[in-house]
Amino acid sequence: MTLQNTIESLASSFATKIIAALREANLAELAEVAGHEVGNGRVVKVTSVPKGKGGRLPRRSADDLNGMIEQIAGLLAKEVAGLRAEQIRDALGVDKKELPHPIQEGLASGRFAKSGQKRATVYTLGKGKKGKK
């Protein structure tokens, strides 16, 4: 048997086994291997937050942003002295790239107030919408 015949035989056997495995797999397994999920009978792409340097976060809906602002407000309501950004981030378990936009929105609406500069910045509930002191 020549080398070419051996390679062709192995490739054919491999392809046959792959096709058999695909036929036996269910939709959820196939979606997982492709980096997708099955939801409501449909395959949907899984979006994940990029790790490491660079990369943008996926665009968040207004509801997601408002939900994050509400979570931050809930934390700040419990801490009269306020919290630093890293404390908020740790308490919510979010990536540091996810926090600036909700904080800025909360500050702009008057929902949050801040004092201090740079790493010494402390956020508290403001006197704006739903954040009455």
Question: Which pLDDT tens digit goes with each residue over 71-97?
Answer: 999 999 998 899 999 999 999 988 888
CA angle 125, 131, 133 (to 5 degrees): 75
- Between 89 and 39, where is the model more confident? 89
Boundaries of every domain in the chain: 3-45, 62-125
Q: Among 1.10.10.10, 2.70.98.10, 3.40.50.460, 3.20.80.10, what is the CATH number of 62-125?
A: 1.10.10.10
Contact (Cβ atoms closer than 8 angstroms) between residue 107 and residue 66:
no
Backbone φ and ψ of 59, nearest 5°:
-65, 135
Q: Residue 31: what pLDDT?
A: 75
- pLDDT tens by residue, 93-133: 888 888 999 999 999 999 999 999 988 999 999 887 654 44
Question: Rounded CA gap, 36 and 43, in Å?
Answer: 6
